[in-house]
Chain A
């Protein structure tokens, strides 16, 4: 497909076939693999298709010698690597090393425990102090709550007693089935009006249509005389 695209481009878009590659470089974001000469999709050149590169064969003695040297090098390296690996393993897992490691760990652990105990003791002191403080505060709060409750109940009792006293006084004017007829008669004969008006001086005029009494101004005789002259 790439080939066909390039052919299409060659025939259709580009005037000069020699500039094809450069033009394609402009159209596509191509990736060059052969050092700015050819894009990736171009095949081997026609002139190089049947070229067979000549292999450079060394003489057999030299090859043998090279192999021997190579093998020697590999064997030596392998043995050295094995030696060092064994030594590292011994350093990490030998009985003395393990014992030392364990000793250090135990020492560290005991140190940690000691430190933790110290801290716990310190915190315990603080905690005791705090708990004592809180206990006292709670005790005081409870005492205060009890006092408040007593006071509130006393206030409430007084309030209720006052209310009852007032109600007892009012109960003399209650309307009951015995005196309902008289009350209705009284209500029907006396009309009540809740409306009132108030002025800026704070005078209250009771009644729906009430108005303040207007003062009659005394007649100004001079004024009338002046008018008469005109």
Chain B
């Protein structure tokens, strides 16, 4: 089962009610046969724009991130269930990236252009190409230029 991240924007509600909503969301995941790895509370914050959901306009929301594993075939039913939940303003499911494969190249990227390895490679290519092209020699005996100028 691949790992996914579920981002939830909940209504601004007291703590105990938020716990009930989260329990509902979590049990939906458990019902698909999945497990939860982590639950993060990002706090209550104003939304970037007025967000209407289930007939109400929201300007603030409680942000939660749930990292979970679930069968991919069940994701649609999960989303459908969360869309039906009137206390959830927005929900999205993303596939988590494998962070171990990330390589930081900021040292390379922050150099000035002529010192970057890729630019050096490109310049070498250009030099090679220029060396390959034959140039007309003016002392070759012809007293006129044979090509178009």
Contact = CB atoms under 8 A, between A and B. Distances in A.
A45 interface: no
A173 interface: yes
Interface stretch (B23-31, B80-88, B111-119, B120-128): B23-31
Given A188-B19, A191-B41, A192-B42, A175 B64 contact: no
Would you call the interface of chain B mostly helix, strand, loop, or mixed? strand
B39 interface: yes
A142 B109 CA distance: 43
Contacts, number: 53
A20 B23 CA distance: 118
Given A190-B41, A191-B43, A193-B42, A175 B19 contact: no
Contacts of B19: 181, 184-185, 188
A177 interface: yes
Contact of A184 (B30, B35, B39, B43): B39
A56 interface: no
Contacts of A173: 37
A186 B22 CA distance: 12
Contact of B26 (A184, A185, A186, A194): A184
B43 A188 contact: no
A52 B18 CA distance: 135
A207 to B, nearest CB: 11
Interface residues of B, number: 18
Contacts of A177: 27, 30
B102 to A, nearest CB: 16
Contact of B23 (A174, A181, A186, A193): A181
A193 B36 contact: no
Interface string B63-77: 010000000000000
Contacts of A180: 23, 26-27, 30, 36
- For chain A, the bracket of interface size reads 10 to 19
Contacts of A192: 40-43
A167 B27 CA distance: 22
B36 A170 contact: no
Contact of A174 (B18, B26, B36): B36
A176 interface: yes
Nearest to B110: A200
Contact of B38 (A175, A185, A193): A175
B149 interface: no
B15 interface: yes
A155 to B, nearest CB: 16
A193 B64 CA distance: 11
A145 interface: no
8 contacts: A174-B35, A174-B36, A175-B26, A180-B26, A184-B19, A184-B39, A185-B19, A194-B42
Interface of B: 15, 18-19, 22-23, 26-27, 30, 35-43, 64
